Amino acid sequence: MAAEALKELGDHIKGALSADVFATSITHGQLVVTAKRESILRVMAFLRDDSKCRFAVLVDLCGVDYPDRAERFEVVYHLLSLALNQRIRVKVTADEETPVPSVTGLWSAAGWFEREAWDLFGIYFSDHPDLRRLLTDYGFEGHPLRKDFPLTGYVELRYDEEQKRVVYEKVKLKQEFRSFDFLSPWEGMNEILPGDEKARGQTP
Contact 13, 47 (CB under 8 A): yes
In the chain, what percentage of residues exceed pLDDT 70? Answer: 84
pLDDT tens-digit series, residues 107-166: 999 999 999 999 999 999 999 999 999 998 877 888 999 998 887 777 777 888 999 998
Ranges of residues in the chain with a pLDDT under 70 are 1, 173-204
**Cα dihedral 166, 167, 173, 179 sign:** positive
Contact 109, 58 (CB under 8 A): yes
CA atoms within 13 A on the CB side of 113: 17
The crossing angle, in degrees rounded to 10, of helices 40-49 and 2-16 is: 130
